[in-house]
Amino acid sequence: MDLSIAALLTQDGITNGAVYALLALALVLVFAVTRVVWIPSGEFVAYGTLTLAGLQLGKPPGTVGLLVGMAVLAGVMEAYAGWKRGEIAQLPRRLLLWTGVPLAIAGAVALLAPMKLPLAAQIVLTLAAVTALGPLLYRIAYQPLADASVLVLLIVSVAVHFVLTGLGLWFFGAEGSRTGHIGMGLGFFISKTLLERTGAALAFLNRPAPDKGAVVRVRWARGDFETTAESILGGGIAP
């Protein structure tokens, strides 16, 4: 291992450590403010990735349906609570906050998804859609139990985790999704560097139609090997 590989691995370790540090910070901050042990952090990360993947495919992501359903449920709960407290005059403003704004975000995402906007705009739409789920989830699951014990809130967090997992399978489907090409990736760069250290010459080509696709050609002194994205996923290398 030379200094370049060591530097890349160190960078990867720092990046992973920063992610875990942010998760720990989120747990501490949420618990200190709300007394909620925030377990379903991973679901929001997965929803963000799946939403961005849907936008890159040019179709409305499953977040739209989830956002609409939660907005309607939160609006019904807010209307019932306002009627029960006798605060009828404040209902329009609260319904606009809990139902109108999320529905507007869901409508914007559904309308703009087929346009295949630039990556920066897709990221903004993804952040808007996934961020709106947080207050709705609080209004539906946690606000009615604001005075409950920490143990009860922990049990609710576990239940929310499983519910969000099931809703994710329902709205996004069980098939895999992936985002488009954003960067070469650290692992790919390390593999490329290691191959070049062995004396290999790499060529990256685009194969024309009808068999179009990415082609990676590796050349050593003893022979040539060519592989495609399909053969990599299938575990084979074509000479």
Q: Tens digits of per-residue pLDDT, 12-42?
A: 888 889 888 988 888 888 888 888 888 888 8
Mean pLDDT of 196-201: 72
**Residues 111, 102: Cα–Cα separation, whole Å:** 14
Question: Which has the higher per-residue pLDDT, 67 or 9?
Answer: 67
Q: Say if 100 falls within a structural domain.
A: yes
Q: Please indicate, yes or no, whether residues 88 and 204 belong to a single structural domain of this protein.
A: no
Q: Say if 90 falls within a structural domain.
A: yes
Q: Please indicate, yes or no, whether residues 135 and 222 belong to a single structural domain of this protein.
A: no
Q: Please indicate, yes or no, whether residues 126 and 225 belong to a single structural domain of this protein.
A: no
Q: Please indicate, yes or no, whether residues 112 and 223 belong to a single structural domain of this protein.
A: no
On whether the CB atoms of residues 214 and 203 are closer than 8 A, the answer is: no
Q: How many domains does the chain have?
A: 2
* Confidence at residue 169, expressed as pLDDT on a 0 to 100 scale: 85
pLDDT at 168 over 50: yes
Greatest mean pLDDT among 7-21, 111-125, 171-185 lies in: 111-125
* Confidence at residue 190, expressed as pLDDT on a 0 to 100 scale: 66
Alpha helices in 138-202 (DSSP H): 150-172, 186-197
Q: Please indicate, yes or no, whether residues 137 and 20 belong to a single structural domain of this protein.
A: yes
**Residues 62, 55: Cα–Cα separation, whole Å:** 10
Q: Say if 85 falls within a structural domain.
A: yes
Q: Say if 187 falls within a structural domain.
A: no
Q: Please indicate, yes or no, whether residues 60 and 145 belong to a single structural domain of this protein.
A: yes
Q: Say if 186 falls within a structural domain.
A: no
Q: Please indicate, yes or no, whether residues 210 and 166 belong to a single structural domain of this protein.
A: no
Residue 45: give the domain boundaries: 3-172
pLDDT at 112 over 90: yes
Q: Please indicate, yes or no, whether residues 46 and 152 belong to a single structural domain of this protein.
A: yes
Q: Please indicate, yes or no, whether residues 26 and 100 belong to a single structural domain of this protein.
A: yes
Greatest mean pLDDT among 95-104, 177-186, 209-218 lies in: 95-104
pTM of the model: 0.67
Q: Say if 190 falls within a structural domain.
A: no
Q: Say if 168 falls within a structural domain.
A: yes
Cα dihedral sign for 118, 121, 126, 127? positive
Q: Say if 178 falls within a structural domain.
A: no
* Confidence at residue 160, expressed as pLDDT on a 0 to 100 scale: 92
Q: Please indicate, yes or no, whether residues 95 and 207 belong to a single structural domain of this protein.
A: no
Q: Please indicate, yes or no, whether residues 116 and 221 belong to a single structural domain of this protein.
A: no
Angle between the 101-112 and 63-85 helix axes, to the nearest 10 degrees? Answer: 170
Amino acid type, 176:
G
Q: Please indicate, yes or no, whether residues 164 and 219 belong to a single structural domain of this protein.
A: no
